[in-house]
Structure 1
Amino acid sequence: MVRQASVLPACSRTGAMTAETDAGSADDAPSNGEIGVAVVTISAGGTIEDDAGGDAIVDAFGADEREIAIRELIDRGHDNVQAKVSRLIDRDDVDIIVTAGGTGIEPEDATVEAVRPLLEKELSAFSELFYALAFDEIGTKAVTSRTLAGVSDRTPVFCLPNEPVATSTAVESIIVPEADRLVALANGPDSAGA
């Protein structure tokens, strides 16, 4: 169930596509390209106005002058999370999805389990990088955090805890710097100039 949504101007899925290089990377992906970012907070309560984790994600992308295509706060629950992420993957104005919340170890935390079946490829190194950064920021509390990253239908998807400090650090240090490259690689060489 969506409690609140905020839709801002967005760019098309093909706005930032570039060709892969012979080395299989998209080093020539434009920095600060026009990609549509979806931010979804998964929470048992609250509103967007008091969503510190979602604010941290939005602020990190905003510092890189990125526009948020959609921001929503939804209730926890496997089916609810899976349906929302699946719908966002299908949107033409969404190139990258970042969720916050529902990744802990409480029985109701099911974001990782809901999103994993949607992914065609996982980005396992993301979790390792996240935990290294999170430990520096929040110490041993990082042990209860679970993350997931991967690609579904040419859309990079990141599932983060709703812990503002660690989430902000991860988005600023990992996701934002790699956003254009990830979108370009996920879309392949045929998407250049599309």
Structure 2
Amino acid sequence: MTDEASHGGGRDADGEHADDNGHRGADGDHATDDDHDHADGHDHHGDDHHGDDHHGDDHHHEHDVDTVGYAVVTVSSTRRIDDDPSGDAVVAAVEDAGGEVATRDLVNDDYDGVQSAVDRLVERDDVDVVVTTGGTGVTPDDVTVEAVRPLFEKRLPGFGELFRTLSRAEIGTAVVGTRATGGVADGVPVFCLPGSENAARLGAEEIITAEAGHLVGLATRGEHDDENGDDESSSGTGDGN
């Protein structure tokens, strides 16, 4: 029994959900593939700072991104885009937080397919964060983590640790069966969530959307400082992360 089963999605006894994933065409086309001008849709300069009475928070969040564009990817060989509760939960969390869903995809439980999909998405100008659901369990066809990790130039171990901590209150020791993972690929935060609806909602609402603007701002800070002619070394605003 794993966290995905206890989070409320149907699944095989020893693997990822049998009914919580969706099928994607072999050609890998996005369900929604309309790019938009990244510069127009996203403010990467974090102008909305906290008040002077929280000076430390000012420095910590001064690079935050106001509007974040998300790619939502369901990893499965059985689901459809119109029958995808976990993807729906992520989309709802993103929209409730004021984010934008740039694209929503379905990908088969296949190492190469998952890796190429995420690799392609992090290159898109309108995608600031990638969130996958499904394929994080322990069955042989759960390959999302293995497929995505090689793309990371930095890992975010705190994401998986916090997700499992929050999940334990709901599912107890079954939390050992989830391998929820986060990292940064080509400057884009990527989060891999379990495939159950409850797990996807928990990770998206409680962690990802809460920290996405901050993480995106930090991951792309050098790019924006160069564009603006800022000298980070003399600003005294290093985040220390």
Q: Same fold (TM over 0.5)?
A: yes
Matched, 1:184 2:217: yes
Evaluate the alpha carbon distance shift between residue 60 and residue 90 of structure 1 in structure 2; reply closer, same or farther with a 3 A threshold. same
Please give the residue correspondences for 1:10-49 in structure 2 after superposition, counting only pairs within 5 Å. 10=36, 12=38, 15-18=42-45, 26-30=60-64, 33-49=66-82
Number of corresponding residues:
192
What is the alpha-carbon distance in structure 2 between the residues aligned to residue 10 and residue 168 of structure 1?
Answer: 26
Query: What amino acid is the match of 1:16?
Result: D
Query: Contact 1:133–1:166 at 8 Å: present in 2 too?
Result: no
Q: Once the 2 structures are TM-superposed, how far is the Cα of residue 6 of structure 1 from its aligned partner? A: 2.8
Query: What amino acid is the match of 2:127?
Result: V
Please give the residue correspondences for 1:113-192 in structure 2 after superposition, counting only pairs within 5 Å. 113-191=146-224
What is the alpha-carbon distance in structure 2 between the residues aligned to residue 179 and residue 8 of structure 1?
Answer: 22
Query: Contact 1:37–1:96 at 8 Å: present in 2 too?
Result: yes
Gaps of 5+ in 2: 1-25, 47-54, 229-241
Aligned alpha-carbon RMSD (Å):
2.6
Evaluate the alpha carbon distance shift between residue 107 and residue 181 of structure 1 in structure 2; reply closer, same or farther with a 3 A threshold. same
Structure 2 residue matching 1:191: 3-state secondary structure: helix
Gaps of 5+ in 1: none
Tell me the TM-score normalised to structure 2 length.
0.72
Structure 2 residue matching 1:133: 3-state secondary structure: helix
Evaluate the alpha carbon distance shift between residue 8 and residue 165 of structure 1 in structure 2; reply closer, same or farther with a 3 A threshold. farther
What is the alpha-carbon distance in structure 2 between the residues aligned to residue 129 and residue 137 of structure 1?
Answer: 13
Moved more, 88-97 or 3-12: 3-12
Query: What amino acid is the match of 2:172?
Result: G
Name the structure 1 match of 2:101. Answer: 68
Query: Contact 1:78–1:113 at 8 Å: present in 2 too?
Result: yes
Structure 2 residue matching 1:5: 3-state secondary structure: coil
Name the structure 1 match of 2:52. Answer: none
Query: What amino acid is the match of 2:112?
Result: D
Query: Contact 2:30–2:103 at 8 Å: present in 1 too?
Result: no
What is the alpha-carbon distance in structure 2 between the residues aligned to residue 161 and residue 74 of structure 1?
Answer: 14
What is the alpha-carbon distance in structure 2 between the residues aligned to residue 83 and residue 186 of structure 1?
Answer: 21
Evaluate the alpha carbon distance shift between residue 127 and residue 13 of structure 1 in structure 2; reply closer, same or farther with a 3 A threshold. farther
The structure where strand makes up a greater share of residues is 1
Tell me the TM-score normalised to structure 1 length.
0.88
Please give the residue correspondences for 1:44-55 in structure 2 after superposition, counting only pairs within 5 Å. 44-55=77-88
